[in-house]
Amino acid sequence: MKLTFPIRIATACMVVVLSSCDKYLDRPPIGQINEDMITTDPSVTTVTALADAAYVPLSSTLNLLGDWAWNDGLVIRNDFIIEDIASGDMLKKWAPDGDQAWMDEVSSFNFTAQNPAFNGTWAYAFEGITRANRAIAQLENQELMAQIGMDAALRNRLLGELYFLRAFNYFDLVVNFGDAPLLLQPFTDFNEIYEAAKRVPKEEIWQQIQTDLVNAEGLLPAGKYADANAPWRVSQGAVLALQAKVALYNGRWQQVVDKVAELEQLGYYHLNANYFDNFDVGKEFAENEVVFAYDHRQGVVPRRGNGLTALMGWGFVAPSADFLAEFEPNDPRLAYTVDTENQNIYKLLGATNGGNKGNEDAPNNRIFIRWADILLWKAEALNELGNYPASISIINEVRARARTTPTIDGGQAPAGTLPARSTAVTDPAQIKQWLIHERRVELGFESHRLSDLRRWQLAEEVLSALGKNFRPYNYLYPIPQNEVDKSGGTIVQNEGY
């Protein structure tokens, strides 16, 4: 049975609230399962495939949403543009040129709402939400579950994963755009689509994120991995971590501490002895720090490789001088992050030999949450709560791991490298500065920096000092102008754009 035209539009791409729908109508099947099979011949296999498809928009695989659609910002996820390039840590290329000038506009904050970066960010997030909603609707259909005979434990696990993925995508939207359309079910007709084409207050988005995460926590099985045969899937630990991050971004400091304490009690995560083990493609899912990552794989169909490495082969992704200057003398993390001589970003290549550079199908994962990041959330919360020694101790734990990590040539950092911060300090402003520094060098090029500066309300100060045209209204990015236009005004543009 062929889906009717309106239904196919509704289920495939959410016209109005996603980027131009005609680009999506003839896309290849999700994995190896097409929509007719899901609709007319549902099975445990097709429903599971639908759930798995909700992970795909988190990948850095090339051309998921368009065929080299640079002008729509759809060639690859734009995290590195809206976070690292925008923050001044990263330059578009090692050698400045006119290629993809819209990235330079983001860097300088001389952009408009037509800039492809924002269309891409919006599109990838809503693609993930759409896919999650479609799978959730199937899994919540008790009659269908009985018909196909899906095991209750499998159903619950998949539902938990999907609630997390929906929350994860909405987190991106609310942090970058503020108010957004709130979509919680697949559409069946145009009236539903048009009704959904309006923004709801960000407070409602935050509440829905929290609701989804509570639901996910109650459905996912205990254990470091939700599925030992597929360690890339959303785990109980990933849910607790995102709950802590939501609390962090909303200033609920004690909840941050409590959620991280829950993670600590699980005993699954700790800092790897070697900093680079987080990024080493040969140690993926065999180390103990990464909490949530997208599992890139090479040579599979459909393609699942990391395409950011391809862009690096074309000269994209370089460090700014200001970022390089942030590292203290002899910090081993610098060489594992950036090799300026050979123009390699090792932590984004997954190896220290540059071997994946230029590879459109590289196997190194995209890391979203890891333990050092989480520990620094806790340090920040403890500082805000006035527990200064505990906050400083966590900062020192991260520094100690960096200091004792073997250098990239196999040696050891000289004595005196990265000395411990004094736990006698009781000035929260000084501790905050230590924290800001540590997050920048520990998590550099992992797409956190601009969000950090914005939530600390430091973006205008820091970026203006770098010569960027940051204005107070840039604390939110613009809604993609084509979304505003297509909605007929029901989606209202952010102030200043």
pLDDT digits (tens, 9 = 90+) for 110-124: 999 999 999 999 999
Mean pLDDT of 437-465: 98
**145, two tokens:** 């579950």
Sequence-distant (6+) residues with CB within 8 A of 434 are 392, 395, 421
In angstroms, what CA-CA distances link 34 with 53, 58, 327, 466? 11, 20, 49, 49
Q: 19 vs 335, which has greater pLDDT? A: 335
User: Which is nearest to 275 in space by CA: 333, 349, 335, 212?
Assistant: 333
Sign of CA dihedral 19, 24, 29, 33: positive
Q: 446 vs 7, which has greater pLDDT? A: 446
> Per-residue pLDDT tens for 373-430?
999 999 999 999 999 999 999 999 999 999 999 999 999 999 999 999 999 999 999 9
Q: Is 12 a residue whose pLDDT tops 70?
A: no
In angstroms, what CA-CA distances link 312 with 74, 149, 263, 357, 360? 17, 46, 35, 6, 10
**197, two tokens:** 């084409």
pLDDT confidence bin for 190, thresholds 50/70/90: confident
Mean pLDDT of 76-85: 98
pLDDT confidence bin for 194, thresholds 50/70/90: confident
**415, two tokens:** 């004595």
Task: Give the Cα separation of 52 and 151 in Å (integer).
Answer: 17
- Predicted TM-score (pTM) above 0.75: yes
Q: Where are the beta strands (DSSP E) in 205-269?
A: none
SS3 91: strand
Mean pLDDT of 10-38: 38
What percent of the chain has a predicted confidence (pLDDT) above 70? 92
Lowest mean per-residue pLDDT among 39-48, 172-181, 308-317, 442-451: 39-48
Task: Give the Cα separation of 6 and 66 in Å (integer).
Answer: 21
pLDDT confidence bin for 443, thresholds 50/70/90: very high
At 38 the pLDDT is 59
Task: Give the Cα separation of 224 and 427 in Å (integer).
Answer: 37
Lowest mean per-residue pLDDT among 28-32, 299-303, 420-424, 471-475: 28-32
Task: Give the Cα separation of 229 and 143 in Å (integer).
Answer: 29
Residue 204: its H or E element:
helix 202-219
At 30 the pLDDT is 32
Buried residues in 117-147 as b, exposed as e (16+ CB within 10 A)? bbbbbbbbbbbbbbbbbbbbbbbeeeeebee
> Per-residue pLDDT tens for 14-27?
333 333 333 333 33
Q: 320 vs 10, which has greater pLDDT? A: 320
Task: Give the Cα separation of 430 and 437 in Å (integer).
Answer: 11
Cis peptide before 302 (omega within 30 of 0): yes
301: left (phi over 0), alpha (psi -120 to 50) or beta: beta
Whether the Cβ atoms of residue 316 and residue 91 lie closer than 8 Å to each other: no
Burial of residue 96 (number of CB atoms within 10 Å: 0-12, 13-18, 19+) = exposed
pLDDT confidence bin for 9, thresholds 50/70/90: very low
Q: What is the mean pLDDT of the chain?
A: 92
Beta bridge partners of 16: none
Q: Is 362 a residue whose pLDDT tops 90?
A: yes
Whether the Cβ atoms of residue 61 and residue 302 lie closer than 8 Å to each other: no
Beta strand pairing call for 290-294 and 366-370 = antiparallel
Domains of the chain: 1-220 (1.25.40.390)
User: Which is nearest to 293 in space by CA: 375, 377, 369, 373?
Assistant: 369
